[in-house]
Amino acid sequence: MPSDDTAIVLFSGGQDSATCLAWALNRYAHVETLGFAYGQRHAIELECRETLRRAMISARPDWQDRLGEDHTLDLSVLGQISDTALTREAAIEMNENGLPSTFVPGRNLLFLSFAATLAVRRNARHIVTGVCETDYSGYPDCRDDTIKALQVALNLGMETRLVLHTPLMWLDKAETWRLAERIGGSALVKLINRESHSCYLGDRTHLHEWGYGCGACPACDLRAKGWSSYVST
């Protein structure tokens, strides 16, 4: 039987998934993390994951017993079959179909399907993902309806009762910082600011008040705007 106390967090090492990890650690007795290597240009985000995990339990020693295994799945096949600005040296721009060139078709659908398979093996009832409809970068697989439909499809197809949680679905980036502050105070905010990674180009050499990044790509832009709105309110 799946455990109601166990959650798998889709953990890329970005601001959103780091906040989701804190959210889950605050809520469940046992939390495991899951990351994907899919040939992303900003694979540096994967290196931030272990640093973030360690920093979180040193900031909150009471989470130490809750934080379980880390899993990394090799989905390099996704990078091989998708032609996008996240997986190729291509310009980050809007495509003719109205979707940004950073959109990797099927990415979140595949991630959540693999997370569900892992959840069954790990006896976890809960899957937590940081997708967000509020400033979702135009990614259709981040929409609330997509996630709800996928939950139904996965449970029908696997005879399970898994729950897909999206604690950030209706939050903007400033509200996501506020959520982190509510969970772990300014120490958690500072930790996520410094150790999480958002920049699409993988830049961790330029430090801004909102964290590391190139400062010019759409992910940096979103993060900078969210931070400035968070600190000004």
Question: Contact positions toward Zn ion, by CB under 5 A?
Answer: 199, 201, 213-214, 217, 220
Considering the complex, state which of residue 23 and residue 103 has its C-beta at the smaller distance from Zn ion: 103
Considering the complex, state which of residue 44 and residue 201 has its C-beta at the smaller distance from Zn ion: 201
Considering the complex, state which of residue 56 and residue 217 has its C-beta at the smaller distance from Zn ion: 217
Residue 212 pairs in a beta bridge with 207
The one-letter code for the residue type at 131 is V
CB neighbour list of residue 222: distance below 8 Å, 6 or more residues apart: 135, 137, 173, 198
Output the smallest distance, CB 158 to Zn ion, in A: 37
Output the smallest distance, CB 207 to Zn ion, in A: 13
Considering the complex, state which of residue 6 and residue 12 has its C-beta at the smaller distance from Zn ion: 12
CB 200 within 8 A of CB 85: yes
Output the smallest distance, CB 150 to Zn ion, in A: 29
Residue 35 pairs in a beta bridge with 72
Output the smallest distance, CB 88 to Zn ion, in A: 17
Considering the complex, state which of residue 29 and residue 90 has its C-beta at the smaller distance from Zn ion: 90
Output the smallest distance, CB 15 to Zn ion, in A: 13
Q: Is the dihedral of CA 193, 198, 201, 202 positive or negative?
A: positive
Output the smallest distance, CB 92 to Zn ion, in A: 9
The one-letter code for the residue type at 206 is H
Considering the complex, state which of residue 109 and residue 214 has its C-beta at the smaller distance from Zn ion: 214
C-beta neighbour count of 16 within 10 angstroms:
24
CB 144 within 8 A of CB 166: yes
Residues 23, 227: Cα–Cα separation, whole Å:
19
Residues 144, 129: Cα–Cα separation, whole Å:
11
CB neighbour list of residue 21: distance below 8 Å, 6 or more residues apart: 9, 11, 31, 33, 52, 53, 56, 128
Which residue number is nearest to Zn ion in terms of Cβ?
A: 199
